[in-house]
Amino acid sequence: MKKSSSTFIFLSFLVATVATLGSLFFSEVMDFIPCTMCWYQRIFMYPLVVILFINLLYPDDKVFKYAMPLVLVGLFFAIYHNLLMFKIIPESVVPCVQGVPCSTEYFNLLGFINIPFLSLVSYSLIFIFLLNVKKGR
Amino acid sequence: MKNKSIVIISLFVLVALFFLGSYAYKNNESSKIQKLAEATSTSNNGPFVRDHSMIFGENKKNITVVEFLDPECEACAYYYPSIKKVYKEYYEEIRLVIRYLANHQNSEFAVKILESSRVQNKYTEVLEVIFSTQEKWAKHGDTRPELLWQFLSKIEGLDIEKLKKDVSTIDIKNLLSKDRLDAAKLKVTGTPSVFVNGKKAKDLSYDGIVNLVESEIYK
């Protein structure tokens, strides 16, 4: 395995870990209740931390295969959720039945940085890093 | 080998940051609420106590115990004996304030009954019946709040017809929305939540509350 690709795996790992701990901070420390969409994005983000961590300790050249499907599904939910937050898709089609509506905005920095946006950024970064892992091989 | 240690160290650093951040955030939050409690300890203008709130106790030691509850919440019913025991032992020293956070389907109806019972001076008795029969009238997926009338009619000295009439006319919208806003201000998201002079009880047991009360008495 080339050196550059392990750097990109490391960067992906860092982003996934920050995203995981960050989402836990929002829900467990700040007591924001995660909506359904947020849960789906969490489900596909958390295992990335473990998969990438193990790969960094015991490198093989197949990590792209294991990690990319998770990223793609998570990215799909993140894009969908962001379209929702920016009102491109109306709330009525959201599969949120009970609890917190997925268009609830817990905080907003600079007019566009909210939690789903952070999720989208994380998934996009990991997506790009993993493409580089594939290319660098 | 060197790379591996960087990986492990960075994981460790991130997790440590997470815990430090959590600790700092929680500390900051609870000191904010604590300050709010000190600033409002003598007034009934919220966020802990409102003029409309049901208040028990003689409050000789100036200790305000606030419970946010929901008549249809199972944990509240389960918790009720503990808070009752605390009150029984400390009713001279403390005042117990009841606030609502109506989060269930029939919570509003039950709060209406509770508030209506106040003119007949039967609040405690009604609350006790509401909690002790909760599993019958608030069964999951099959709530039958009308059963409450039958249970309540067994309370001695309670004029059930008057209560029914009062429930049909009482307006609690304002009261509930004020309680909800105060709860949000105090970061209360669930019930039961208990504050003792602004300190949020982390251990919701009889001992947990007693410890907080005692530490206020012997401050």
Query: How confident is the model over B166-192, as pLDDT tens digits?
Result: 989 999 889 999 999 988 888 888 888
Residue with tokens 């990590």: A63
The whole-number pLDDT of residue B218 equals: 87
Distances (CA, A) of B169 to B112, B165, B166: 9, 7, 5
B41, two tokens: 């300890």
Helices and strands (H, E) in chain B, number of each type = 9, 7
| Domain boundaries along the sequence of chain A | 3-135
| Domain boundaries along the sequence of chain B | 1-39, 54-217
Query: How confident is the model over B19-59, as pLDDT tens digits?
Result: 999 999 988 888 888 888 877 777 777 788 988 899 999 88
Asked if pLDDT for residue A103 goes beyond 70, the answer is: no
Judge: A21–B18 Cβ closer than 8 Å, yes or no.
yes
pLDDT band, very low/low/confident/very high, at A20 (cuts 50, 70, 90):
very high
Instruction: Please report, as a single letter, which amino acid is at residue A8.
Output: F
Asked if pLDDT for residue A44 goes beyond 90, the answer is: yes
The whole-number pLDDT of residue A109 equals: 72
Report the share of chain B in percent with pLDDT over 70: 99
pLDDT band, very low/low/confident/very high, at B2 (cuts 50, 70, 90):
low
The whole-number pLDDT of residue B29 equals: 86
Three-state secondary structure readout of B74-114: HHHHHHHHHHHHHHHHHCCCEEEEEEECCCCCCHHHHHHHH
Interface list for chain A against chain B, based on CB atoms closer than 8 Å: 6, 10, 13-14, 17-18, 21, 24-25, 28-31, 33, 53, 56-57
Which one is predicted more confidently, A30 or A79?
Answer: A79
Judge: B25–A13 Cβ closer than 8 Å, yes or no.
no
Helices and strands (H, E) in chain A, number of each type = 4, 0
Q: Which residues of A touch B7 (CB under 8 A)?
A: 10, 13, 53, 56-57
Strand order across the B193-196 sheet: B54-56, B94-100, B63-69, B193-196, B199-200
Judge: A29–B21 Cβ closer than 8 Å, yes or no.
yes
Mean pLDDT, residues A96-116: 69
B18 close contact with A: CB closer than 8 A: yes
Mean pLDDT, residues B113-119: 92
pTM value? Answer: 0.71
- In whole angstroms, give the CA distance from residue A49 to residue B177: 42
The CATH number of domain B54-217 is 3.90.1150.10: no
- Mean of the per-residue pLDDT values for chain B? 88
